[in-house]
Structure 1
Amino acid sequence: MNRYLEGNYAPLADEVSTVDLPVSGRLPRDLNGLYLRIGPNPRTEVDRELHHWFSGAGMVHGVRLREGRAEWYRSRFVASERGAPNTNVLSHGGRLLTLIEGGKPPVEISPDLAHQAIWDCDGTLSRGFTAHPKIDPATGAMHAMTYNPRFGSVRYVVLDATGRATHTSDIEVPDGPMVHDMALTATRVVLLDLPVTLAAAQRRGAAGLPVATFPFNWDDQHTARLGILPLSGTADQIRWIEAPRSFVFHVLNAFDNPDGSLTMDVIRYDTMFVRDINGPGDATPRLVRWTVNPATGTVNEEPISDHRVEFPRVDPALTGRPHRYGWFAGFSPDGLLITDDVNRDPAAGFGTGPLIKIDTTSGQTVVYDYGPGRVTMEPAFVPRPGAIAEDDGWILSVVHDGTVDRADLVVLDAAALDAGPVATVHLPSRVPFGFHGNWVDDRDIDAARSAV
């Protein structure tokens, strides 16, 4: 059995459209915009033995909120002749972009999800983009570490606030590493060159062992290292530092320190894709802080929390700047990746996947449990207009309810999770466990209306 094709991992066959969604509670009238989420949703039969969770066409899900109403929900397949983005969806430079890594350019979608077209930034992204670009809040520039294993290099790309390419630099790396995320500070970018590689999958195949449709495996021969460059730096400026032997899908945030070092809060795994070649289900995540010192060439690691968390989010206004809080999806046996029985409710027969808020300075945590059978996906933090405090805003996340096999969009007060939902938008169908989503404010929607 391939668990990534079962339960709420299973793909949906049809697109859905509905209007005037029922809401429990009261939606904040300041939440005017579009919540978007995307994940893999294969449209055709797949090899059940070799299918990898990261493979398959993407399906984007959208919920339109305006003036206290949930106007509509729509789900649409995203596909083009040059790929099917399935990993992230965000707004930049007046465009709504669906993203994937490993060699495929973004596909732009219209705000009503009705139209789509490839966008390769006049050829700059023709050899691929990334799932996790970082936007500098001071300049609006988007920084990205893009990779295509065929080229034997990672391309550092900078797009300005309008989406115009202003910088590219190719950085040679051996073995074709998987580079899912990166780190950005106010002055530097960090390339994560870690031991999950295409070369390891190729060696596995040459040995006659099965290789999944997403061809990356743990690489015992590849050194874990971080490459540090100045903003808009070039390959000859990179400073390589050996990192703790591990794999990182996601960086919560990073920032510069007065002594010239930098801090990275990351979700680390001791290994990845060793036994479970179809997904990340055989590894345990830990939130740790890496203090990277280019002067000494060292990385010091300290644990932040014992909670098993993933899909980290921070206030986007603090990207690359010192932060205190992070919001995370907590792992559950029936939801996100973990396969043991922790958090299982024997009465309901389902697991619970809570939202977890962590104070990274003290390690203090607040856990909000959505209830038996309910599993949150990645949270998104939306600041309240005029907010001053770092956690003055809302958390939006899609929550799967295994008791009825359906999803809700749940709104919580980011500073008072214990108070329970501010509002719950009841969606007409389930939303498969996927990857990433973001809030797009009305101002960005207006900018994107004529883009596609």
Structure 2
Amino acid sequence: MEDAQPFFASGNYAPIATEHDVTDLPIRGEIPHGLRGTLFRNGPNPQSAAPDPAAHHWFLGDGMVHGFTLGEGRASWRNRWVRTDKFLAERAAGRALSIGFGGARETGIPDTGLANTSLVHHAGRLLALEEAHLPWALDPATLETRGVEDFGGQIRRFTAHPKADPATGELVFFGYSTAGPLSAEMAWGTLSPAGAVTRHERFPVPFCAMVHDFAVTERHVLFPLMPLTGSLPRAMRGGPAFAWEPELGGHVGLLRRADGVASLRWFRAEACYAFHVLNAWEDAAGRVLADVMESRRPAALPPCRWQPEPEGGDPGPPDPLGAGPGGGHGCLPARAAGRPARRVPPDGRPPRRPAQPPRRLYGPVARRGARHPRLVRPGDRGRRHFTVPAGDALSEAVFVPRSAAAEEGDGWLMTVAWRATEGRSELLVLDSQDVAAGPVATVALPGRVPHGFHGTWVPADG
């Protein structure tokens, strides 16, 4: 099997070397009235070629944040690298210094992360996030790096997917390996609407695992501990820091938000993997359910060789939405009353707003060997979708309500399209009620936005 480095250095995976500040971009169609704010996107964009291509992985690129500001019928684009300790050290040296996973510690660079995965806007702060470090704060207007956000020294780790509670205004977060590298301990907590730490609790887990995402409902928090295990002894022996060990099975941790870790209970689950949780809610029977993008195993593991399926097929590049080979819309339920958790097929209910039974979801999907050519609503059997030409690709779609009073699911979907033939990108705005009609507005960009991971919308008055 070929090494993955050439793949990550080619096409729209390849990094760009330019930071842009472009206003009054060309627009086909019309930016919807009332759509005023900025779409922020984050992803890996290494500033220097890896010193050891065999040890490089897409996940190791320096974070680059793109901001697309819309308002009054106009659009602008700004992008900046996050000036992490690693980025600044390598810029000063004029070459890449970090080597593979954990390489920052080996080269003496402060281990403060890459800030390359996701973003959250909370309490007036724009935070660039990644897997296992504290966030980096950015200026929302200029994207200037302000520094590591350590929350007054109260928090050690903060993953890429905190959850905003729309009812309370709290931000619920978690972290793993909080007792040290690849340790069997996790933590969870909350930030107040003003950004103060109001709860932070650590707790042991059955084994160290890559827990990329979690689920939050009105009264509960659910931690999916799947057997993508971390092992420091294995890594020190020259093996992978993370490896797939399905024989360990899965575990689901469930706690009540009001009672915290004192209420934490663990249930056994089948071995599967879900990078991302779509939504979670509590039903009338007292169950806590979470919709996830499930796969039989992780689509790709570091180091950067694709993991073959048992049948011998190649799952292809990793899907940022977690829909790897065999992936689909799954449901992980657990009873607060204590019944063991188990994985069940989709129950037919389409997804919905946070912490409530689902009604609507859109997301990019890919066929084997392709990357996200279609934006589709699961369960619609292809009747409501938007597809780009062969070779093109779409980013994760971000939803923006049409207005504060709009019905659920009524609004706009924004996605960045890679136009392979032209070698550039476009920002697309689609009506969520009729995605098959295509974009209502297409913003032409003078360059590329490399494939990345996640984004968030911040309204102009937010």
Structure 1 letter corresponding to 2:46 = P
CA distance in 2, matches of 1:259, 1:278: 44
Alignment check: 8 A CA contact 2:243 2:301 kept: no
Which residue of the other structure, out of 357, 365, 385, is the alignment partner of 2:377?
357
* Residues in 1 aligned to 2:41 and 2:113: alpha-carbon distance in whole angstroms: 18
% same residue: 33
Shift of 1:174: 4.3
Unaligned runs of 5+ in 2: 86-111, 307-314, 317-323
Q: 1:259 to 1:174 in 2, by over 3 A?
A: closer
| Contact 1:290 1:300 survives alignment (8 Å) | yes
Query: Gaps (5+ residues) in structure 1?
Result: 306-312, 337-351, 445-452
1:18 counterpart = 2:16: no
User: SS where residue 236 of structure 1 aligns?
Assistant: helix
Give the corresponding residue for 2:66: 61
Between the aligned partners of 2:133 and 2:224, the Cα distance in structure 1 is: 17
- Number of matched pairs: 410
Partner residue in 2 for 1:152: 184
1:322 aligns with 2:385: no
Shift of 1:370: 2.3
Q: Is the 8 A contact 1:314 1:381 kept in 2?
A: no
Partner in structure 2 of residue 403 of structure 1 = 421
Residue 357 of structure 2 aligns to which amino acid in structure 1? P
- Residues 49 and 232 of structure 1: CA distance in aligned 2, closer, same or farther (over 3 Å): farther
Q: Does 1:420 align with 2:425?
A: no
For 1:324, the aligned partner's letter is: R
382-391 or 260-269, larger mean C-alpha shift: 382-391
Kindly indicate whether the alpha-carbon contact (under 8 Å) linking 2:351 and 2:357 is maintained by their aligned counterparts in 1.
Answer: no
Q: 1:238 to 1:99 in 2, by over 3 A?
A: same
Letter in 1 for 2:341: T
1:91 pairs with one of 116, 121, 125: 121
Residue type at the aligned position of 2:15: P
TM-score (norm 1): 0.85
User: Structure 1 residue 399: deviation in Å?
Assistant: 0.9
- Contact 1:61–1:76 (CA under 8 A) maintained in structure 2: yes
Aligned to 1:292: 334
After superposition, the Cα gap between the structure-2 partners of 1:188 and 1:363, relative to the gap in structure 1 and judged at 3 Å, is farther
2:10 to 6, 12, 15: 6
For residues 331-370 of structure 1, the aligned pairs below 5 Å read 331-332=366-367, 336=371, 353-359=373-379, 366-370=384-388
Q: Which of 427, 451, 454 is residue 433 of structure 1 equivalent to?
A: 451
Structure with greater proportional strand content: 1
Any idea what SS the aligned residue of 2:135 has?
coil
> Deviation digits for residues 368-395 of structure 1, max 9, x if unmatched?
1023332111000100114442221000
Q: CA RMSD in A?
A: 2.4
- Superposed, 1:42-121 pairs within 5 Å as 42-46=46-50, 47-70=52-75, 72-81=76-85, 82-121=112-151
Residues 1:55 and 1:115: Cα distance change in structure 2 (over 3 Å): closer
Q: Answer yes or no: is the 8 Å Cα contact 1:4–1:278 preserved in 2.
A: no
**Aligned ranges 1:195-234 → 2 under 5 Å:** 195-199=227-231, 202-203=233-234, 206=237, 208-209=238-239, 211=240, 215-234=241-260
Shift in Å at residue 102 of structure 1?
A: 1.2
**Matching of residue 32 in structure 1 with residue 75 in structure 2:** no
SS of 1:8's partner is helix
**Partner secondary structure for residue 122 of structure 1:** helix
Q: CA deviation at 1:232?
A: 4.6
Structure 2 distance, partners of 1:183, 1:49, is 35
Q: Is the 8 A contact 1:332 1:375 kept in 2?
A: no
- 2:237 aligned with 1:237, yes or no? no
Residues 82 and 145 in structure 2, CA contact (< 8 A), matched pair in contact too: no
TM-score, normalised on structure 2? Answer: 0.83
Letter in 2 for 1:50: A
| 1:294-313 aligned within 5 A | 294=336, 295-303=338-346
**Residues in 2 aligned to 1:408 and 1:233: alpha-carbon distance in whole angstroms:** 47
Of 130-139 and 327-336, deviating more is 327-336
Distance across 1 between alignment mates of 2:381 and 2:387 = 19
Partner residue of 2:106? none
Letter in 2 for 1:299: R
When structure 1 is superposed on structure 2, of 372-381 and 129-138 the one drifting more is: 372-381
- Structure 1: distance between partners of 2:351 and 2:141: 25
